[in-house]
């Protein structure tokens, strides 16, 4: 799988399909979007729509319905057989309860007929954005699966591509491999990649220099014809006696007729690591000088890989559970942190953000809630600590002032709807959430969206 570094840029155009019996609807849509770079096609029924969808991608579907929820379910199901990723915007005679129902059933949004051109533009823009986001997340997930099947790390950043080129060079190398890099950069995964790509039949075994105290703990020294790979972390922490023993074994291995394990050594440090003679057993120092070196770049040098790595972490985290990936803003926000903690830091932040997202795509507010470093970088400068904590949803209130989460959420939504007199679009804009999300919450909490009538003489809002 190949992903270009600018893969997440939002396209300036898209292909729309209008499915409606009324040709006037198509004319309204096409005229309203003229000059926007959109390709708009029209089908009067589902048969025409399916014919247009065969073999061609559609980014957004505007679907006219005449009945209620069952009409929507039937039509949407038939269209999604051919284009499962395109969001569906329902068009029908304006009824607030129908809008809530179809969005709850999976529609992206709702447009009341006759179509208001001022409403059409923002709805189409958000629909195309959602479509693009879904396709990007799908590509990222496919990349995760391909990387797992290939058995090697994956990346598109220049530093990572250089490492992979070196990896390919060393697959047939007979000398021990020395992997250098910071902790948490994926050094063990690279070592396992060597084991798999070399087709080793034996086991992959890991030892740590700190825990090796005597020769008997290096069991592979006495085994014969076992093959496989032996990986030793932090060989600097081995005693000099064991270093000498390991070097002697490797020298014997050169002329052995039996199949002995390949040796991989892992050192925490930068690419410029040079072993000084006085720090090692003389024989082991000679062995280190013979090693074929490969450096694993830190995460801060792999910013182009962060969308894939974050998706890989999320997919591993949720296991068999489903997830909706990340928003564009979230993926770009990940590039702000210096990532001194490398992959473990990324995993920690993604895990917290996934919990905060509650089943929605992970957005920038979820990442800010999971990382104060991100919050401080993203939110306005000179923000007081108390205000920062409040923006992240953690106030200094006393325990007695804290309400259950659902009650707090319902109160916030009610205030927004009251302030906008039931205008769902404006309330969603003020709350910085999607209209579809707000409609689901309205249905969940049974909130009223009826606009209050102004009394005569009352001032305009």
Terminal Cα-to-Cα distance of the chain (whole angstroms): 54
Q: Which helix (H) or strand (E) holds 206?
A: strand 204-208
Residues 404-432, mean pLDDT to the nearest whole number: 76
**Same domain flag for 109 and 231:** no
Task: Find where tokens 């290939």 sit.
Answer: 150
Domain boundary among 84, 116, 147: 147
Tell me the C-alpha distance between 39 and 16, whole Å: 6
Residue (of 414, 448, 443) closest to 431 by Cα position: 414
Tell me the C-alpha distance between 105 and 71, whole Å: 12
**Same domain flag for 178 and 98:** no
Residues 423-447, mean pLDDT to the nearest whole number: 79
Percent of the chain with pLDDT over 90: 17
Instruction: Please tell me the number of Cα atoms within 13 Å of 241 on its side-chain side.
Output: 7
Residue 451 in domain? no
CB-based contact 16:123 (threshold 8 Å): no
The predicted-structure confidence for 54-108, as pLDDT tens digits, reads as follows 878 889 999 998 888 788 888 888 888 888 888 999 998 866 688 888 888 888 8
Whole-number pLDDT of residue 139: 81
The answer, yes or no, to whether residue 218 has pLDDT greater than 70, is: yes
Lowest mean pLDDT among 16-25, 150-159, 264-273, 347-356: 150-159
Enumerate residues 6+ apart whose C-beta is below 8 A from 99: 90, 110, 112, 439
CATH number at residue 261: 3.40.50.300
212: buried, middle or exposed (CB in 10 Å: 19+, 13-18, 0-12)? buried
**Same domain flag for 310 and 377:** yes
**Same domain flag for 251 and 331:** no
CB-based contact 325:140 (threshold 8 Å): yes
Whole-number pLDDT of residue 377: 59
**Same domain flag for 433 and 371:** no
Lowest mean pLDDT among 162-171, 211-220, 451-460: 451-460
229: buried, middle or exposed (CB in 10 Å: 19+, 13-18, 0-12)? buried
Angle (CA) 192-195-196 rounded to 5° is 90
CA of 175: how far to CAs of 151, 253, 264, 291, 293, in Å? 22, 11, 9, 6, 10
Whole-number pLDDT of residue 95: 67
**Same domain flag for 291 and 313:** no
Residue 364 in domain? yes
Which DSSP category does 299 fall into? G
Cα Rg of the chain, angstroms: 29
Tell me the C-alpha distance between 233 and 253, whole Å: 20
Tell me the C-alpha distance between 193 and 182, whole Å: 18
CATH number at residue 421: 1.10.10
Whole-number pLDDT of residue 166: 94
Residue 423: other Cβ atoms inside 10 A: 16
Residue 456 in domain? no
**Same domain flag for 42 and 64:** yes
The answer, yes or no, to whether residue 256 has pLDDT greater than 80, is: no
Which DSSP category does 324 fall into? -
For the chain, what is the domain count? 4
The answer, yes or no, to whether residue 367 has pLDDT greater than 80, is: yes
Mean pLDDT, all residues of the chain? 79
Residue 287 in domain? yes
**Helix/strand/coil percentages in the chain, nearest 5:** 50, 10, 40
**Same domain flag for 139 and 180:** no
The answer, yes or no, to whether residue 394 has pLDDT greater than 60, is: no
Domain boundary among 276, 296, 316: 296
The CA-based diameter of the chain, rounded to the nearest angstrom, is 101
Tell me the C-alpha distance between 185 and 268, whole Å: 10
CATH number at residue 63: 3.40.50.2300
**Same domain flag for 138 and 31:** yes
Residue 152 in domain? no
The answer, yes or no, to whether residue 144 has pLDDT greater than 60, is: yes
Whole-number pLDDT of residue 318: 82
The answer, yes or no, to whether residue 294 has pLDDT greater than 60, is: yes
Lowest mean pLDDT among 188-202, 238-252, 347-361, 421-435: 421-435
Whole-number pLDDT of residue 180: 94
Tell me the C-alpha distance between 108 and 72, whole Å: 12
The answer, yes or no, to whether residue 126 has pLDDT greater than 60, is: yes
Residues 29-38, mean pLDDT to the nearest whole number: 82
Residues 426-448, mean pLDDT to the nearest whole number: 77
**One-character DSSP codes across 172-193:** T--SPEEEEE-TTSSHHHHHHH
**Domain extent at residue 368:** 301-396
**Same domain flag for 361 and 284:** no
Residue 270 in domain? yes
Whole-number pLDDT of residue 215: 67
Task: Supply 173's token pair.
Answer: 């190398």
**Same domain flag for 26 and 105:** yes
**Same domain flag for 34 and 51:** yes
The answer, yes or no, to whether residue 229 has pLDDT greater than 50, is: yes
Percent of the chain with pLDDT over 70: 83
Residue 452 in domain? no
The predicted-structure confidence for 179-215, as pLDDT tens digits, reads as follows 999 999 999 989 998 998 887 678 898 888 888 877 6
Residue 333 in domain? yes
Enumerate residues 6+ apart whose C-beta is below 8 A from 203: 226, 228, 229
């Amino acid at each position: 799988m190949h992903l270009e570094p600018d893969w997440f840029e939002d396209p300036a155009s898209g292909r729309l399909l209008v499915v409606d019996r009324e040709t006037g609807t198509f004319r309204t849509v096409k005229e309203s979007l003229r000059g926007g770079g959109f390709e708009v096609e029209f089908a009067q029924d589902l048969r025409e729509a399916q014919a247009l969808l065969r073999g061609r991608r559609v980014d957004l579907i505007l679907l006219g319905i005449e009945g209620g929820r069952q009409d929507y379910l039937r039509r949407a199901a038939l269209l999604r057989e051919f284009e499962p990723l395109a969001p569906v915007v329902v068009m029908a005679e304006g009824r607030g309860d129908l809008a809530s129902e179809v969005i709850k059933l999976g529609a992206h949004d709702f447009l009341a007929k006759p179509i208001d051109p001022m409403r059409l533009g923002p709805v189409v823009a958000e629909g195309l954005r959602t479509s693009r986001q879904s396709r990007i997340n799908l590509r990222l997930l496919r990349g995760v699966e391909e990387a797992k099947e290939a058995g090697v790390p994956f990346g598109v950043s220049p530093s990572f591509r250089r490492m992979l080129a070196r990896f390919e060079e060393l697959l047939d190398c007979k000398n021990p491999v020395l992997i250098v890099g910071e902790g948490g950069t994926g050094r063990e995964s690279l070592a396992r990649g060597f084991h798999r790509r070399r087709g080793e039949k034996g086991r992959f075994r890991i030892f740590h220099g700190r825990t090796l105290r005597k020769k008997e703990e290096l069991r592979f020294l006495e085994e014969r014809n076992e093959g496989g790979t032996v990986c030793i972390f932090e060989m600097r922490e081995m005693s000099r006696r064991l270093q000498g023993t390991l070097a002697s074994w490797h020298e014997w291995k050169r002329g052995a007729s039996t199949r002995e394990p390949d040796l991989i050594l892992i050192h925490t440090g930068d690419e410029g690591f040079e072993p000084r003679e006085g720090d090692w057993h003389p024989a082991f120092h000679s062995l280190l000088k013979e090693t074929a070196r490969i450096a694993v770049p830190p995460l801060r040098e792999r910013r182009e890989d962060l969308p894939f790595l974050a998706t890989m972490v999320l997919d591993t985290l949720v296991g068999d559970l489903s997830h909706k990936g990340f928003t564009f803003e979230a993926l770009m926000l990940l590039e702000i942190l210096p990532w001194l903690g490398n992959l473990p830091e990324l995993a920690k932040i993604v895990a917290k953000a996934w919990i905060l997202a509650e089943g929605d795509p992970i957005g920038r507010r979820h990442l800010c809630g999971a990382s104060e470093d991100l919050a401080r970088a993203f939110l306005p400068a000179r923000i007081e600590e108390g205000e920062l904590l409040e923006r992240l949803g953690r106030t200094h209130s006393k325990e007695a002032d804290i309400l259950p989460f659902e009650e707090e959420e319902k109160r916030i939504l009610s205030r927004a709807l009251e302030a906008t007199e039931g205008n769902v679009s404006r309330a969603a804009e003020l709350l910085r959430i999607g209209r579809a999300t707000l409609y689901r919450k309205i249905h969940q909490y049974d909130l009223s969206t009826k606009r209050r009538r102004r009394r005569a003489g009352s001032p305009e809002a």
